[in-house]
């Protein structure tokens, strides 16, 4: 009985902790689980020269990249904006550096408008950049993301399956031809850099790929829950590494510094951007704070020696879009890991795969959750059935248990001994009532993170008033149903002999119901359906035991 009380208190305490944490976040206070606080806006305007790496930073292979004191090629000409549209993206390029300064994800709206990912405005700084470094000492710098480029392409709207957008610039004896190739229905952009030596001597440049972002939370971030926003690095050696902005600022960032594989990226709720350099080429990886509340992550790799009048090409990829796990896996190994389920990943990953398969059959994510709940209930049916039979037997012997309490009074030793003897005789498991609830805890948290982190749930409707499974029920109908079914479920259970346990059990629906006010509607659907099935199962088992008891008494 002491073990049962401990289990109940653990569940009750953890529920209260979870509820209090969400309440603290709702009131603008930091999460007890490591939430990052919102930062102040970065200063808009021209990116400082500090954001341009030195060639020495990228000396991943000794001898290939000489250190340089050459001044970077900085734009003094007015920049122009080039807007490009496909069926899934609207991109804005700045001719200064041919950098990507705005990206609108057309098929994932926020408040009725396309979600803005990249942006350079007074309120936000988030851009993709690239450039060339490694010019000889005291020579003009090569083209960087601050160098004026000019647009070569004529077509800016996607009409076929692909759309190439080409920019050119020349400085320090290197002409850079930068081509972004967009594909229909794809968030994976091919980026090709052709480096031509226009001088009379061999040159050994290095190409850098860079993402700059301020430390602010994405637009639409809710205070009810908080997901990771920050930098990320993936390599075969160290796998997926998240880097918080606060760690960068405090020089505590821990990540792999050199690799010949993987990618770098920036992660936020539901969306991600990533540079995917050529695989098999040694490169340096660098994360830094460019200025207050402005951070950069980049790779720098040697291109090799380029003879006069010769050209070297580097093919890379740039992901700009939603955290679509299937598409991201196809774009680069490990890119799908930006969908981070935390400590419940071992349960959440197969759960999401099962839900994806069910969705291909059903076509609606709300009904997919209903079907998933039925399947989970079916898998655990033998275990829960045994538990409910034990609970039904406890309910049947409740009068005898009360008689034992009256007989032994305050003598806890004799009372417990008598009760355990009765449990053995009647084949009752005293922990049976806790077992179904304990089993649900890993599934509860796994489904919570699947609903919270999977972009497929974002804006997914169910029926009637439920228009988005990833946010709380706007009218709190599902939490109310959940509390009602949980109270009814408790009524089918035997009343615990311990008054403290009885009070805890009566408070559980209120606590879980309060949690559901902050939880995604999809999670409330799971619990409503699960409770309803549990009630039916308990009613069927209890009625069957009663019939057998009546039959045995009459025979």
For 319-356, the pLDDT digits (tens) are 999 999 999 999 999 999 998 787 788 888 888 889 99
N-terminal to C-terminal alpha carbon distance within the chain = 35
CA distances from 414 to 284, 418, 424, 502, 545 (A): 72, 6, 15, 22, 30
- Asked if pLDDT for residue 55 goes beyond 90, the answer is no
Could you tell me the pLDDT band of residue 7, with boundaries at 50, 70 and 90? very low
* CA nearest neighbour of 420 among 502, 501, 497, 504: 497
Distance CA 540, CA 375 (A): 19
Which pLDDT value is given to residue 522?
84
Q: Give how far the C-alpha of residue 187 lies from the chain's centroid of Cα atoms, to the nearest Å.
A: 18
Could you tell me the pTM of the whole model?
0.77
DSSP secondary structure code for residue 37 in this structure = P
DSSP secondary structure code for residue 474 in this structure = T
247-270: b (≥16 Cβ within 10 Å) or e: bbeeeebebeeebbbbbbbbbbbb
Length of the chain: 555
Which residues contact residue 358 at a Cβ distance below 8 angstroms, ignoring those fewer than 6 apart? 368, 371, 372, 375
Q: Helix, strand or coil for residue 90?
A: strand
21-25, 139-143, 241-245: which has the minimum mean pLDDT?
Answer: 21-25
Q: Which ranges in 258-364 belong to alpha helices (H)?
A: 325-331, 345-362
Distance CA 53, CA 286 (A): 9
Interval 397-414: pLDDT, tens: 667 777 777 777 777 777
Taking the CA of residue 104 as centre, how many other CA atoms within 13 Å lie in the half-sphere pointing to its CB?
A: 14
Residue 290 · residue 211 · CB < 8 Å: no
In the structure encoding, which two tokens stand for residue 322, read together? Answer: 């939603």
Which pLDDT value is given to residue 489?
76
- Asked if pLDDT for residue 89 goes beyond 90, the answer is yes
Place of tokens 């004026």: 148
| Parallel, antiparallel or unpaired: strands 150-151 and 162-171 | antiparallel
In the structure encoding, which two tokens stand for residue 35, read together? Answer: 């939430």
In the structure encoding, which two tokens stand for residue 359, read together? Answer: 């969705």
Interval 465-510: pLDDT, tens: 888 888 788 888 888 888 888 888 777 665 655 566 666 666 677 7
Q: Helix, strand or coil for residue 178?
A: strand
What is the four-CA torsion angle of 181, 294, 55, 170, rounded to 10 degrees? 50
More confident residue, 23 or 361: 361
How many other C-beta atoms are found inside a 10 Å radius of the C-beta of residue 163? 20
CA dihedral for 10, 14, 441, 232, sign (positive or negative)? negative
Average pLDDT over residues 202-220: 90
In the structure encoding, which two tokens stand for residue 422, read together? Answer: 């009765």
Catalogue all structural domains in the chain, each as residue range(s) with its CATH number.
2-28+347-554 (no CATH), 132-149+162-338 (2.70.98.90)
80-94, 183-197, 538-552: which has the minimum mean pLDDT?
Answer: 538-552
Could you tell me the pLDDT band of residue 19, with boundaries at 50, 70 and 90? low
What is the four-CA torsion angle of 219, 221, 227, 228, rounded to 10 degrees? 30
Distance CA 147, CA 239 (A): 35
Which residues contact residue 533 at a Cβ distance below 8 angstroms, ignoring those fewer than 6 apart? 373, 374, 377
Distance CA 344, CA 326 (A): 20
Could you tell me the pLDDT band of residue 454, with boundaries at 50, 70 and 90? confident
């Amino acid at each position: 009985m002491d073990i049962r009380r401990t289990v109940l208190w653990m569940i009750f305490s953890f529920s209260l902790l979870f509820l209090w944490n969400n309440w603290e976040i709702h009131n603008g206070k930091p999460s007890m689980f490591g939430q990052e606080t919102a930062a102040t806006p970065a200063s808009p305007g021209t990116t400082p020269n500090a954001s341009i790496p030195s060639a020495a930073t990228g000396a991943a292979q000794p001898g290939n990249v000489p250190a340089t004191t050459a001044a970077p090629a900085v734009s003094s000409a007015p920049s122009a904006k080039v807007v490009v549209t496909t069926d899934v993206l609207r991109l804005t390029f700045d001719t200064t550096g041919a950098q990507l300064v705005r990206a609108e994800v057309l098929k994932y709206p926020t408040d009725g408008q396309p979600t803005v990912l990249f942006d350079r405005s007074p309120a936000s700084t988030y851009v993709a950049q690239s450039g060339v470094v490694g010019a000889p000492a005291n020579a003009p710098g090569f083209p960087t993301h601050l160098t004026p480029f000019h647009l070569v392409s004529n077509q800016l709207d996607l009409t076929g399956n692909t759309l190439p957008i080409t920019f050119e610039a020349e400085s320090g004896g290197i002409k850079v031809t930068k081509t972004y190739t967009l594909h229909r229905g794809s968030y994976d952009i091919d980026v090709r850099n052709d480096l031509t030596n226009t001088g009379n001597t061999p040159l050994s440049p290095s190409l850098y790929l860079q993402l700059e972002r301020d430390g602010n939370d994405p637009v639409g971030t809710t205070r009810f829950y908080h997901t990771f926003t920050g930098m990320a690095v993936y390599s075969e050696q160290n796998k997926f590494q998240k880097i918080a902005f606060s760690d960068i600022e405090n020089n505590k960032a821990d990540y792999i510094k050199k690799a010949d594989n993987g990618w770098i990226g920036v992660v936020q709720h539901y969306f991600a951007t990533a540079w995917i350099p050529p695989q098999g080429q040694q490169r340096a990886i660098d994360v830094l704070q460019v200025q207050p509340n402005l951070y950069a992550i980049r790779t720098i790799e040697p291109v090799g020696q380029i003879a006069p009048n010769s050209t070297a090409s580097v093919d890379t990829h740039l992901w700009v879009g939603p955290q679509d796990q299937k598409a991201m896996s196809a774009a680069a190994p490990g890119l799908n890991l930006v969908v981070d389920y935390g400590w419940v990943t071992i349960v959440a990953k197969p759960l999401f795969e099962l839900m994806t398969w069910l969705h291909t059959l059903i076509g609606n994510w709300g009904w997919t959750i209903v079907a998933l709940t039925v399947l989970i209930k079916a898998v655990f049916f033998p275990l829960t059935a045994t538990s409910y039979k034990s609970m039904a037997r406890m309910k049947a012997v409740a009068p005898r248990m009360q008689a034992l309490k009256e007989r032994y009074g305050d003598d806890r030793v004799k009372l417990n001994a008598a009760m355990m003897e009765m449990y053995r005789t009647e084949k009752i498991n005293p922990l049976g009532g806790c077992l179904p609830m304990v089993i649900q805890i890993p599934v509860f948290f796994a489904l919570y993170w699947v609903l919270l982190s999977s972009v497929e749930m974002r804006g997914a409707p169910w029926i009637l008033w439920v228009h988005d499974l990833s946010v709380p029920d706007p009218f709190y109908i599902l939490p109310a149903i959940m509390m009602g079914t949980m109270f009814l479920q408790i009524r089918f259970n035997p009343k615990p002999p311990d008054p403290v346990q009885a009070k805890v059990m009566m408070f559980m629906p209120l606590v879980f119901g309060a949690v559901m006010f902050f939880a995604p509607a999809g999670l409330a659907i799971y619990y409503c359906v699960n409770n309803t099935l549990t009630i039916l199962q308990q009613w069927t088992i209890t009625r069957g035991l009663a019939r057998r008891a009546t039959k045995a008494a009459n025979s």
